[in-house]
């Protein structure tokens, strides 16, 4: 039943990326209504301190706050990101790597050709269907260009960033302080509830009591308010996604800084390579069911060519899954406290943004009551599962045989109905866009993304069974595609120059 709430004080628990993003967005939205926002963070419990790649959603978030690239990027050692190269996920000859770009307004000119050729190739016709050939952003990443066109190039571009997450947190804290956040540094000892089960106040270890009308739980995997206090159950995704651990190690940056993330599959997981202006961030995301922490660290160091180096490695545990409901009583969880899908497509910060934005909309539309709580929770759960299925697809379609980890991932029967339908659609040579629309999941990953992944992994009839091409008119016009991409690329500049010139 709808429950009226008189909202004067909102309390955010947690000062990681999620907490500071929330603080800025809620202040921006509701400060003029006289709502106060307080953020409590523990000086003794650190932030997760990883999470250095974004999707275009981070740009949208910073645009809402009217924060320009020239203001934040250099403070956070940030670089531009065209997308992600996936290396060694497939062992099909010719498909050892592929690029997953962000959506780009120029895709209309080339994406249809990828669709055309990948359909022919699925039918067993010998045509080029590797996605990189059809993507402007793949070409920009290969040339180490920034995804920022010259001013007279009249197309809109979406792109992501790489950044130092600790510095981004500090930057967002500074911005929140400028616009009126109350910041308290202390640890929550216990939480007081009202007789109706709502959260009343936080008791801190310095004896302060922080009362609020509404609470936002950004306390990371600890989920102090939503899971621990309000006892919202956690639904693990471990049957679908096996990885539960990560190791992070920095290495020296190349002088010619790449404009993409690289995700390379290793024996029991994959490694991210994220370029910042001052270092590479590297991290091995793996499953502790298949190897020990020591084995994983050794493999990561060997992969990075730093077996002998004494640079310290950080070991992290990941709790992969989602809460049953993100909003219960007078508390919404945002960030790791609400759930986490492993960082293969760098979606967590995007999820933080979308959770705050959707919560704020639902709260406002319900006139600061819980009128739209159930719809919001349903939407969050669907969003988690929509993203999860696309991540699972990477594992399900791998063709590696070098370890039980990869074989088990490929043979895993615990996949959702939606994912199973999408795979059937691909193998039955049906249209991906129609199936995504039928399943109502086109909002998570576009047909282009699905096509890039499925074609990029080389999920086609074997090369030796291919027949020769049909009439040329049936195939993609590769000369057109190449000329178009080359012509467009001339409107972009090197990443290094863009970074040195103080951003766009
Ligand atoms: C290995 C790994 C790689 C990742 N890579 C990416 C990526 O590339 N892209 C991406 O978008 N995301 C990534 N993420 C996710 C991303 O790091 C997080 O979503 C993001 O940092 C938000 O974290 P958070 O703020 O929810 O939690 P945290 O950073 O853990 O912050 C928790 C806060 O709660 C406070 N706190 C906890 N308990 C108490 C208490 N009792 N009292 C007071 N304060 C308390 C802590 O002090 C801290 O301030 C990755 C995550 C992992 C694990």
Q: Clarify whether residues 224 and 330 are in a common domain.
A: yes
| Residue 474: band (very low, low, confident or very high) from pLDDT cuts 50, 70, 90 | confident
Whole-number CA gyration radius for the chain:
23
List the one residue out of 78, 302, 40 whose CA is nearest residue 171: 78
Instruction: Please tell me the distance from the alpha carbon of residue 363 to that of residue 370, in angstroms, as a whole number.
Output: 7
List the one residue out of 353, 292, 314 whose CA is nearest residue 166: 314
Residue 4 pLDDT > 70: no
Does residue 94 fall inside a structural domain? no
Q: Clarify whether residues 226 and 258 are in a common domain.
A: no
Residue 129 pLDDT > 50: yes
Residue to mutate (ligand 1; options 220, 247, 280, 341; most atoms within 8 A of CB): 220
Instruction: Please tell me the distance from the alpha carbon of residue 421 to that of residue 253, in angstroms, as a whole number.
Output: 42
Number of compact structural domains in the chain: 3
Does residue 420 fall inside a structural domain? yes
Instruction: Please tell me the distance from the alpha carbon of residue 481 to that of residue 465, in angstroms, as a whole number.
Output: 27
pLDDT for position 1: 40
Phi, psi of 325 (to 5 degrees): -145, 130
Percent of the chain past pLDDT 70, that is, above it, reads 97
Structure tokens at 6: 């008189």
Instruction: Please tell me the distance from the alpha carbon of residue 336 to that of residue 64, in angstroms, as a whole number.
Output: 23
Asked if residue 33 lies in contact with residue 463, where contact means CB atoms within 8 angstroms, the answer is no
Assess whether the C-beta atom of 336 lies below 6 angstroms from ligand 1.
yes
Q: Clarify whether residues 420 and 477 are in a common domain.
A: yes
Domain boundary among 293, 317, 341: 317
pLDDT for position 156: 80
Phi, psi of 312 (to 5 degrees): -75, 145
Q: Clarify whether residues 55 and 149 are in a common domain.
A: no
How far, in Å, is the centroid of ligand 1 from the Cα of 165?
9
Q: Clarify whether residues 232 and 360 are in a common domain.
A: yes
Report pTM. Answer: 0.96
Does residue 382 fall inside a structural domain? no
Q: Clarify whether residues 229 and 253 are in a common domain.
A: no
Residue 185 pLDDT > 80: yes
| Residue 503: band (very low, low, confident or very high) from pLDDT cuts 50, 70, 90 | low
Asked if residue 422 lies in contact with residue 439, where contact means CB atoms within 8 angstroms, the answer is yes
Instruction: Please tell me the distance from the alpha carbon of residue 358 to that of residue 20, in angstroms, as a whole number.
Output: 17
Which numbered atom of ligand 1 lies nearest the CA of 13? 44
* CA distance to 35, 204, 467, per residue, from 180 (Å): 11, 21, 67
| H-helix or E-strand spanning residue 215 | strand 214-217
Asked if residue 113 lies in contact with residue 167, where contact means CB atoms within 8 angstroms, the answer is no
| Residue 105: band (very low, low, confident or very high) from pLDDT cuts 50, 70, 90 | confident
Report the mean per-residue pLDDT for the chain.
Answer: 95
Strands 79-81 and 160-162: antiparallel
pLDDT for position 5: 55
Does residue 177 fall inside a structural domain? yes
pLDDT, tens digit, for every residue of 47-82?
Answer: 999 989 999 999 999 999 999 999 999 999 999 999
pLDDT for position 480: 96
Q: Clarify whether residues 420 and 487 are in a common domain.
A: yes
The one catalytic residue in 59, 81, 175, 373 is 81
Tell me which of 157 and 82 has the higher pLDDT: 82
Residue 3 pLDDT > 60: no
| H-helix or E-strand spanning residue 445 | none
| Residue 282: band (very low, low, confident or very high) from pLDDT cuts 50, 70, 90 | very high
Assess whether the C-beta atom of 160 lies below 6 angstroms from ligand 1.
no
Q: Clarify whether residues 139 and 180 are in a common domain.
A: no
pLDDT, tens digit, for every residue of 429-455?
Answer: 999 999 999 999 999 999 999 999 999
Q: Clarify whether residues 58 and 122 are in a common domain.
A: no
Instruction: Please tell me the distance from the alpha carbon of residue 203 to that of residue 385, in angstroms, as a whole number.
Output: 35
pLDDT, tens digit, for every residue of 374-432?
Answer: 999 999 999 999 999 999 999 999 999 999 999 999 999 999 999 999 999 999 999 99
pLDDT for position 177: 98
Q: Exposed/middle/buried for 338, CB within 10 Å: 0-12, 13-18, 19+? A: buried
């Amino acid at each position: 039943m709808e429950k009226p709430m008189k909202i004067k004080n909102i309390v955010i628990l947690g000062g990681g990326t999620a907490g500071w993003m929330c603080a800025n967005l809620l202040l921006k939205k509701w400060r003029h209504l006289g709502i106060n926002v307080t953020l409590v963070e523990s000086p003794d419990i650190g932030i997760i301190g990883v999470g250095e790649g974004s999707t275009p959603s981070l740009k949208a978030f910073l645009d809402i706050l009217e924060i320009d690239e020239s203001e934040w990027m250099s403070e956070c050692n940030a670089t531009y990101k065209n997308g992600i190269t996936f290396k060694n996920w497939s062992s099909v000859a010719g498909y050892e790597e592929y690029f997953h770009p962000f959506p780009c307004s120029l895709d209309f000119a080339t994406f249809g050709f990828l669709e055309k050729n990948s359909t022919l190739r699925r039918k067993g016709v010998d045509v080029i269907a590797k996605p990189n050939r059809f993507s402007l952003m793949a070409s920009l990443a290969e040339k180490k260009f920034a995804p920022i066109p010259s001013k007279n190039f009249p197309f809109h571009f979406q792109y992501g960033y790489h950044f130092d997450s600790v510095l981004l947190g500090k930057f967002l804290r500074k911005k929140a302080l400028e616009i009126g956040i109350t910041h308290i540094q202390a640890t929550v000892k216990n939480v007081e509830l009202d007789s109706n089960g709502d959260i009343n106040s936080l008791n801190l270890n310095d004896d302060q009591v922080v009362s609020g009308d509404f609470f936002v739980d950004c306390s990371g995997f600890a989920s102090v308010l939503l899971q621990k206090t309000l006892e919202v159950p956690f639904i693990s995704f471990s049957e679908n996604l096996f990885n539960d651990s990560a190791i992070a190690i920095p290495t020296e940056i190349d002088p010619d800084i790449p404009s993409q993330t690289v995700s390379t599959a290793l024996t029991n997981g994959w490694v991210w390579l994220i370029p910042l202006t001052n270092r590479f961030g590297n991290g091995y995301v793996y499953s502790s069911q298949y190897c020990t922490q020591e084995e994983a660290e050794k493999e990561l160091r060997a992969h990075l060519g730093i077996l002998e180096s004494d640079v310290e490695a950080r070991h992290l545990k990941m709790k992969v899954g989602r809460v049953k409901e993100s909003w219960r009583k007078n508390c919404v969880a945002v960030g790791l406290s609400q759930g986490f899908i492993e960082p293969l497509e760098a979606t967590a910060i995007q999820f933080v943004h979308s959770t705050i934005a959707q919560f704020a909309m639902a709260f406002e539309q319900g006139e600061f009551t819980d009128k739209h709580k159930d719809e919001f929770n349903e939407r969050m759960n669907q969003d988690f599962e929509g993203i999860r299925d696309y991540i699972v697809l990477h594992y399900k379609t791998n063709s590696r045989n070098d370890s039980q980890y990869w074989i088990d991932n490929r043979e895993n029967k615990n996949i959702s109905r939606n994912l199973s339908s999408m795979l059937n659609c691909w193998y039955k040579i049906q249209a991906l866009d129609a199936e995504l629309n039928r399943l109502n999941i086109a909002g998570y990953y576009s047909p282009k993304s699905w096509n890039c992944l499925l074609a990029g992994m080389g999920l086609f009839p074997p090369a030796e069974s291919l027949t020769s091409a049909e009439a040329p008119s049936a195939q993609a016009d590769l000369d057109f595609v190449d000329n178009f991409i080359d012509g467009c690329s001339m409107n972009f500049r090197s990443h290094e120059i863009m970074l040195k010139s103080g951003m766009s």
